Structure 1
């Protein structure tokens, strides 16, 4: 027997305001308690998600920078689709923001797809600067197994990674940031 599904109603400005006020007064309460105290006809999970993804003043609202985009690509290759792990390196960005950025903008770039005349050029040819994907098939333009695997294993030059490291929080800083 199927349960009837109630359509979710949109959050109103009044509900947002009540959640903000209640959260600021009762920050140590569980989300279920905050939902009840605020008098919202919402579940605690819904309130938590609304806060985390829309109302939290610590969340960045501006567009992603090129450094953040590059970081997401880099960390996605390290962590896979562990969006919370990636977001931990980008202060002010939520796991949901990072996931949406990846699927809506960056995934195609990482795979090397473009809207131009070569939609299926792979990442390998974009990363290995010694290979011209438009060149005729001479032996100099065909990657060797070693050069291809080296390029995929470490697609970012060490100097680029060193410059990016200053843009991120260290593991210790991330732990302190989220434990406060």
Structure 2
């Protein structure tokens, strides 16, 4: 009796492992190829002008930047808007981009780090990442004590630098899964 029950348990274990392996294979085969890239179909309209959108009010939220709660980042204007669910701007501020820009599109916050060292060797805090381009992580961060990058550093950087106060606001606003809209 003992040998037949151990054989039965071994058979069940083998079947379970095969099922888990098969399901893992199916899951990996169905991962979207565009994971971490802009989502087509939800890409906002892109303004044609490279100049600030509203010369009278350069901090005004650009038309075509989406709907609902989101972070809007303009790569041409070097500006960020934190927008509430009611489509009202909660905060806007200028940023200093890295050397690698994300493509226009709709992303989500994929990871966050409280304190790390940036690819330029500068200690940063409140890092909010939303994509990568050519192996370079792209995200918002604030330099601790605003030190200058190391001289001669030619690293490709995706850090979009904010002031510490703006970095604190971004950290509180943009949690994992939060929408980030990148526009021109």
Normalised TM-score (structure 1): 0.26
Higher helix share: 1
- Higher normalized strand content (fraction of residues): 2
Higher relative contact order (CA 8 A, sep 6+): 2
